[in-house]
Homo-oligomer: A and B are copies of this chain.
């Protein structure tokens, strides 16, 4: 499969295709055209075809896509078959929520350990994952190859923990701390989950819509 540098927008759409294909598959649908798939996701059929063309040939002109095999190909592109390992750092509310509700293995990632500073948590298991003391993190990383660190620590320690992770060769950080971690070195990737950005974008659209409704109402009065 050809794999050239692909635009960020295309990459961000791949997980959406994957989710939609999973839904179709669950509904017993085994074939879909680029037009139908596009309609379900608010994209044009040519957009869908162009996205997939970045990675080679996925379907046959006029025959549509096989849902299961397209899903497998996208899963492969997204690295879901690589057996990536992850650790979670900070077993507070958000850390616990992720351990309990987010099924890492559904997405091809194995959550192998968690770390915290609270003595009451250290040495226990949560949802089948062992919780280690933070003071053993460096040792652990020197003995285990970890691809992804899920960062759910308090804001105040985000930067120092990140330094440890990058020094010890963790490839990627999934950052829930709301601290903008500038890529600390060229070898560590950072994916930020900023809840506030998401809420504020929504808030912008609510304000816009309410303004439009108010303007419309005032025109109608006149």
The docked-state distance in angstroms from the alpha carbon of A137 to that of B100 is 27
Chain copies in the assembled complex? 2
Q: Given A107-B196, A172-B202, A209-B189, answer yes or no on A94-B101 (Cβ-Cβ < 8 Å).
A: yes
Q: Annotate A77-91 by CB proximity to B: 1 below 8 A, 0 otherwise.
A: 111101010000000
A52 within 8 A of B: no
The docked-state distance in angstroms from the alpha carbon of A171 to that of B96 is 30
A181 within 8 A of B: no
Contact, CB under 8 Å: A205 / B193: no
Q: Given A93-B101, A191-B198, answer yes or no on A172-B205 (Cβ-Cβ < 8 Å).
A: yes
Contact, CB under 8 Å: A12 / B106: no
Contact, CB under 8 Å: B11 / A206: no
How many chain A residues touch B (CB < 8 A): the figure is 59
Q: Determine the chain B residues whose CB is within 8 A of the CB of A15 once the complex forms.
A: 194, 196-197, 200-201
Which stretch of A16-24, A28-36, A57-65, A112-120 is in the interface?
A: A16-24
Contact, CB under 8 Å: B12 / A180: no
Q: Which of A16, A97, A208 has the most CB of B within 10 A?
A: A97
